[in-house]
A and B are shown apart, each in its own frame.
Chain A
Amino acid sequence: MNRLCQSMEPRVMDDDLLKLAVAEQGPREEAGQLAKQEGILFKDVLSLQLDFQNILRIDNLWQFENLRKLQLDNNIIERIEGLENLTHLVWLDLSFNNIETIEGLDTLVNLEDLSLFNNRISKIDSLDALVKLQVLSLGNNQIFNMMNVIYLRRFKDLRTLSLSGNPISEAEDYKMFVCAYLPDLVYLDFRRIDDLTRELAEIKHQYTIDELKHREELTQAQWEEAQAQKEELEAHKAAFIEHLNGSFLFDSMYAEDVEGNKLSFLPGVGELLEAYPFKDKFVIICLNIFEYGLKQQEKRKMEIDTFNECIQEAIQENQEQGKRKIAEFEEKHLLNLSAIRDESEMPVIEMKIVECGEDITQLFNVLMTLEMQLVEQLEETINIFERNIVDLVGLFIENVQSSWCTMAQCRDLESHHHEKLLEISINTLEKIVKGELDEDLPDDVRALFVDKDTIVNAVGASHDIHLLKIDNREDELVTRVNSWCTQLVDKIHTDEIMRNRKRVKEINQYVDHMQNELDNLEFGDILD
Chain B
Amino acid sequence: MEVLREKVEEEEEAEREEGTERLSRPEKMPKLLRKEATTLTPELLRDMEQKLSEIKVPIPGDPPTDDTIDIANLPPSYKVNTPREEQLLQVADNFSRQYSHLCPDRVPLLLYPLNECEVPKFVSTTIRPTLMPFPELYNWDTCAQFVSDFLTMMPLPDPLKPPTHLYSSTTVLKYQKGNCFDFSTLLCSMLIGSGYDAYCINGYASQDLCLMDLTREVCPLTVKAKEVVHAEEKAPPKKYAIKPPRDLTSRFEQDQEMKRQEEIKTAEEKQLREEEERLMEAEKAAPDPLHGLRVHCWVLVLSGKREVPESFFIDAFTARSYSTQDSHFLGIESLWNHKNYWVNMQDCWNGCKDLVFDLGDPVRWEYLLLGTDKPHLFTTDDEDDGINDDDDDVENLGKEDEEKSFDMPHSWVEQIEISPDAFETRCPNGKKIILYKRAKLEKWAPYLNNNGLVCRLTTYEDLECTNILEIKEWYQNREDMLELRHMNKTTGLNTDYFKPGHPQALRVHSYKSMLPENDRVMEFYQSARVDGLIKREETPKTMTEHFQGRPDFLSYRHINFGPRVKKLPLNSAESNPRPIVKITERFCRNPAKPADEDVAERVFLIADERIQLCYHCRNDHITASKREFLRRTEVDSKGNKIIMTPDMCVSFEVEPMEHTKKLLYQYEAMIKLKSEEKLSRHQAWESELEVLEILKLREEEEEGHVLTISIYDTKRNEKSKEYREAMERVMHEEHLRQMETQLDYLAPFLAQLPPGEKLTRWQAVRLKDECLSDFKQRLIDKANLIQARFEKETQELQKKQQWYQENQVTLTPEDEDLYLSYCSQAMFRIRILEQRLNRHKELAPLKYLALEEKLYKDPRLVELLKVFA
Residues of A at the B interface (CB closer than 8 Å) are 27, 30-31, 33-35, 37-38, 40-41, 44, 303, 306-307, 309-311, 313-315, 319, 322-323, 326, 367, 373, 377-378, 380-381, 384-385, 499, 502-503, 506-507, 509-510, 513
B-side binding surface: helix, strand, loop or mixed? loop
Task: Report yes or no: A38 in contact with B664, Cβ–Cβ below 8 A.
Answer: yes
- Chain B, residues 233-271, CB within 8 Å of chain A (1/0): the string is 000001111110100000000000000000000000000
Chain A residue at minimum C-beta to C-beta distance from B617: A323
Q: A378 and B242 in contact (CB under 8 A), knowing A38-B664, A506-B623? A: yes
In the bound assembly, the distance between CA atoms of A78 and B664 in angstroms comes to 37
Residues of B at the A interface (CB closer than 8 Å) are 238-243, 245, 617, 620-623, 643-644, 652, 654, 659, 662-664, 667-668, 671
Q: A310 and B659 in contact (CB under 8 A), knowing A509-B654, A510-B623? A: no
Kindly identify which residue among B238, B644, B667 contacts A310, using a CB–CB cutoff of 8 Å: B238
> Which chain B residues lie closer than 8 Å to A315 at the CB level?
620
Task: Report yes or no: A37 in contact with B663, Cβ–Cβ below 8 A.
Answer: yes
The count of A-to-B residue pairs whose CB atoms sit within 8 angstroms is 78
Chain B residue at minimum C-beta to C-beta distance from A373: B245
Task: Report yes or no: A385 in contact with B240, Cβ–Cβ below 8 A.
Answer: yes
Q: A310 and B242 in contact (CB under 8 A), knowing A30-B667, A34-B643? A: yes
In the bound assembly, the distance between CA atoms of A309 and B235 in angstroms comes to 14
Q: A31 and B239 in contact (CB under 8 A), knowing A499-B620, A509-B654? A: no
Task: Report yes or no: A44 in contact with B622, Cβ–Cβ below 8 A.
Answer: no
Chain A residue at minimum C-beta to C-beta distance from B671: A31
Q: A306 and B667 in contact (CB under 8 A), knowing A502-B620, A510-B623? A: no
> Which chain B residues lie closer than 8 Å to A385 at the CB level?
240
- Other than the given A31-B668, A502-B620, 16 more pairs (CB < 8 A) read A30-B667, A31-B667, A34-B643, A34-B644, A34-B663, A35-B664, A40-B664, A44-B662, A323-B622, A326-B623, A381-B240, A506-B622, A507-B622, A507-B623, A509-B654, A510-B652
Task: Report yes or no: A306 in contact with B239, Cβ–Cβ below 8 A.
Answer: yes
Closest chain-A Cβ to B669's Cβ sits at a distance in Å of 11
Interface pairs (26), CB distance under 8 Å: A30-B644, A30-B667, A33-B643, A34-B644, A34-B663, A38-B663, A44-B659, A306-B239, A306-B240, A307-B239, A307-B240, A310-B242, A314-B242, A315-B620, A319-B622, A322-B622, A326-B622, A367-B622, A377-B243, A378-B242, A502-B620, A506-B621, A506-B654, A509-B623, A509-B654, A513-B652
Closest chain-A Cβ to B607's Cβ sits at a distance in Å of 15
Chain B residue at minimum C-beta to C-beta distance from A382: B240
Closest chain-A Cβ to B656's Cβ sits at a distance in Å of 9
Kindly identify which residue among A306, A319, A510, A513 contacts B620, using a CB–CB cutoff of 8 Å: A319
Closest chain-B Cβ to A458's Cβ sits at a distance in Å of 56
Task: Report yes or no: A384 in contact with B240, Cβ–Cβ below 8 A.
Answer: yes
> Which chain B residues lie closer than 8 Å to A499 at the CB level?
620
Kindly identify which residue among A27, A310, A367, A502 contacts B664, using a CB–CB cutoff of 8 Å: A27
Closest chain-A Cβ to B612's Cβ sits at a distance in Å of 11
> Which chain B residues lie closer than 8 Å to A367 at the CB level?
622
Task: Report yes or no: B622 in contact with A38, Cβ–Cβ below 8 A.
Answer: no
Task: Report yes or no: B622 in contact with A310, Cβ–Cβ below 8 A.
Answer: no
> Which chain B residues lie closer than 8 Å to A31 at the CB level?
664, 667-668, 671
> Which chain A residues lie closer than 8 Å to B664 at the CB level?
27, 31, 34-35, 38, 40
> Which chain B residues lie closer than 8 Å to A27 at the CB level?
664, 668
Task: Report yes or no: A30 in contact with B643, Cβ–Cβ below 8 A.
Answer: yes
In the bound assembly, the distance between CA atoms of A33 and B621 in angstroms comes to 37
Closest chain-A Cβ to B322's Cβ sits at a distance in Å of 52
> Which chain B residues lie closer than 8 Å to A44 at the CB level?
659, 662
> Which chain A residues lie closer than 8 Å to B623 at the CB level?
326, 506-507, 509-510
Chain A residue at minimum C-beta to C-beta distance from B621: A506
> Which chain A residues lie closer than 8 Å to B622 at the CB level?
319, 322-323, 326, 367, 503, 506-507
Kindly identify which residue among A306, A502, A509 contacts B238, using a CB–CB cutoff of 8 Å: A306
Task: Report yes or no: B662 in contact with A380, Cβ–Cβ below 8 A.
Answer: no
> Which chain B residues lie closer than 8 Å to A303 at the CB level?
239
Task: Report yes or no: A34 in contact with B667, Cβ–Cβ below 8 A.
Answer: yes
Chain A residue at minimum C-beta to C-beta distance from B659: A44
> Which chain A residues lie closer than 8 Å to B240 at the CB level?
306-307, 309-311, 381, 384-385
Closest chain-A Cβ to B734's Cβ sits at a distance in Å of 50
Task: Report yes or no: B643 in contact with A381, Cβ–Cβ below 8 A.
Answer: no
> Which chain B residues lie closer than 8 Å to A506 at the CB level?
621-623, 654
Closest chain-B Cβ to A383's Cβ sits at a distance in Å of 11
Task: Report yes or no: B668 in contact with A377, Cβ–Cβ below 8 A.
Answer: no
In the bound assembly, the distance between CA atoms of A30 and B238 in angstroms comes to 60
> Which chain B residues lie closer than 8 Å to A384 at the CB level?
240
Closest chain-A Cβ to B582's Cβ sits at a distance in Å of 14
Chain B residue at minimum C-beta to C-beta distance from A503: B622
In the bound assembly, the distance between CA atoms of A303 and B240 in angstroms comes to 9
> Which chain B residues lie closer than 8 Å to A38 at the CB level?
662-664
In the bound assembly, the distance between CA atoms of A506 and B245 in angstroms comes to 23
Closest chain-A Cβ to B646's Cβ sits at a distance in Å of 11
> Which chain B residues lie closer than 8 Å to A33 at the CB level?
643
Task: Report yes or no: A381 in contact with B654, Cβ–Cβ below 8 A.
Answer: no
> Which chain A residues lie closer than 8 Å to B667 at the CB level?
30-31, 34
In the bound assembly, the distance between CA atoms of A315 and B652 in angstroms comes to 24
Closest chain-B Cβ to A316's Cβ sits at a distance in Å of 9
In the bound assembly, the distance between CA atoms of A501 and B312 in angstroms comes to 71
In the bound assembly, the distance between CA atoms of A506 and B654 in angstroms comes to 7
In the bound assembly, the distance between CA atoms of A314 and B244 in angstroms comes to 10
> Which chain B residues lie closer than 8 Å to A319 at the CB level?
620-622
Going nearest first, the 9 A-B pairs with the smallest beta carbon separation are A322-B622, A310-B240, A377-B242, A314-B242, A510-B623, A307-B240, A30-B643, A513-B652, A34-B664
Closest chain-A Cβ to B621's Cβ sits at a distance in Å of 6
> Which chain B residues lie closer than 8 Å to A503 at the CB level?
622
In the bound assembly, the distance between CA atoms of A230 and B620 in angstroms comes to 35
Closest chain-A Cβ to B488's Cβ sits at a distance in Å of 34
Among A311, A319, A367, A503, chain B packs the most CB atoms within 10 A around the CB of A319
In the bound assembly, the distance between CA atoms of A319 and B618 in angstroms comes to 11
> Which chain A residues lie closer than 8 Å to B654 at the CB level?
506, 509
Chain A residue at minimum C-beta to C-beta distance from B614: A330
In the bound assembly, the distance between CA atoms of A144 and B622 in angstroms comes to 63
In the bound assembly, the distance between CA atoms of A513 and B625 in angstroms comes to 11
Closest chain-A Cβ to B864's Cβ sits at a distance in Å of 67
In the bound assembly, the distance between CA atoms of A319 and B617 in angstroms comes to 11
In the bound assembly, the distance between CA atoms of A315 and B620 in angstroms comes to 9
In the bound assembly, the distance between CA atoms of A319 and B644 in angstroms comes to 37
Closest chain-A Cβ to B233's Cβ sits at a distance in Å of 17
> Which chain A residues lie closer than 8 Å to B668 at the CB level?
27, 31
In the bound assembly, the distance between CA atoms of A406 and B664 in angstroms comes to 70
Chain B residue at minimum C-beta to C-beta distance from A313: B241
Closest chain-A Cβ to B745's Cβ sits at a distance in Å of 64
Closest chain-A Cβ to B603's Cβ sits at a distance in Å of 12
> Which chain A residues lie closer than 8 Å to B652 at the CB level?
510, 513
In the bound assembly, the distance between CA atoms of A45 and B759 in angstroms comes to 112
In the bound assembly, the distance between CA atoms of A510 and B622 in angstroms comes to 10
In the bound assembly, the distance between CA atoms of A38 and B668 in angstroms comes to 14
Closest chain-A Cβ to B434's Cβ sits at a distance in Å of 53
In the bound assembly, the distance between CA atoms of A323 and B624 in angstroms comes to 9
In the bound assembly, the distance between CA atoms of A307 and B241 in angstroms comes to 8
Among A311, A499, A513, chain B packs the most CB atoms within 10 A around the CB of A513
> Which chain B residues lie closer than 8 Å to A310 at the CB level?
238-242
Chain B residue at minimum C-beta to C-beta distance from A385: B240
In the bound assembly, the distance between CA atoms of A150 and B677 in angstroms comes to 53
In the bound assembly, the distance between CA atoms of A30 and B644 in angstroms comes to 9
Q: A377 and B238 in contact (CB under 8 A), knowing A34-B644, A44-B659? A: no
Among A310, A384, A503, chain B packs the most CB atoms within 10 A around the CB of A310
Closest chain-B Cβ to A376's Cβ sits at a distance in Å of 8
In the bound assembly, the distance between CA atoms of A166 and B652 in angstroms comes to 58
In the bound assembly, the distance between CA atoms of A486 and B241 in angstroms comes to 23
> Which chain B residues lie closer than 8 Å to A502 at the CB level?
620
Closest chain-B Cβ to A188's Cβ sits at a distance in Å of 34
Task: Report yes or no: A377 in contact with B663, Cβ–Cβ below 8 A.
Answer: no
In the bound assembly, the distance between CA atoms of A383 and B675 in angstroms comes to 56
Among B622, B643, B668, chain A packs the most CB atoms within 10 A around the CB of B622
